[in-house]
Amino acid sequence: MVHRRELKGREILLGNQGALWGNAMTWWDHETGSVWSQPLGEAILGPLTGERLELFPSTLTTWGAWQEAHPETLALDVLGWPTGFHLEDMAVVVDRGTEAMAFAILALREAGAVNEVVGGLEIAVTADPEDPNRWAVFSRRLNDGVIVELTMTGDGLRDEASGTTFDPFLGTGLSGPYGDQSLDRLPAFTAFPSDYVTFFPDGGRWPAA
């Protein structure tokens, strides 16, 4: 997950605090020494307790899947090592501040696209049935206020009412009456279901448990 390091007009310098909280990384900021929760982007100890950083859209994926979608990307070539994280064991978490919902990756792959409302916003969560490393979360509200209802087809994300299709992972319009518009990408992150319950005990789940 990626957060903006700006808070109330000033830049915050963060470091790895070295301890886990809720089985997740914590940071500390150099200015006040406050401790921050990585999944929440919130200060949990110190002078800034309760402050939250803005979450940016990001994705946990493979380099191959990312490069296919964004072939112009440049990356620092460094020696890597196998990861212990496997997306099929995780869920996509959408945190709207007032409400959170977790979408199980395996169920998402079977559905292709899920239409939901989280925190008062109509969203779509997509996952590639063929590639477990490709997923995205979009707002279903278009620029003129139209709300689309999306299904995954061989041609992309299709709005049944208008016949418009969108790229299922970039959100760009492909064809149809709204093909000149794009779906806005929303912040989301992946987490293990047990960790999700720790941070969002009242959060929703899809499919419902």
- Report yes or no: 5 and 18 within 8 Å, Cβ to Cβ: no
Residues 68 and 162 in one domain: yes
Question: Which of 14, 29, 55 delimits the end of a domain?
Answer: 55
pTM of the model: 0.80
Residues 152 and 96 in one domain: yes
Q: What is the rounded distance in angstroms from the CA atom of residue 165 to the CA atom of residue 91?
A: 26
197: enclosing H helix or E strand: helix 193-199
Residues 75 and 166 in one domain: yes
**Residue 8 domain boundaries:** 2-55
What's the pLDDT tens digit per position in 31-42? 999 999 988 888
Residues 38 and 68 in one domain: no
How many domains are there within the chain? 2
Q: For residue 95, what is the domain's CATH number? A: 2.102.10.10
Residues 107 and 202 in one domain: yes
Residues 43 and 83 in one domain: no
What's the pLDDT tens digit per position in 87-111? 888 999 999 989 999 999 999 999 9
- Report yes or no: 100 and 203 within 8 Å, Cβ to Cβ: yes
Residues 180 and 131 in one domain: yes
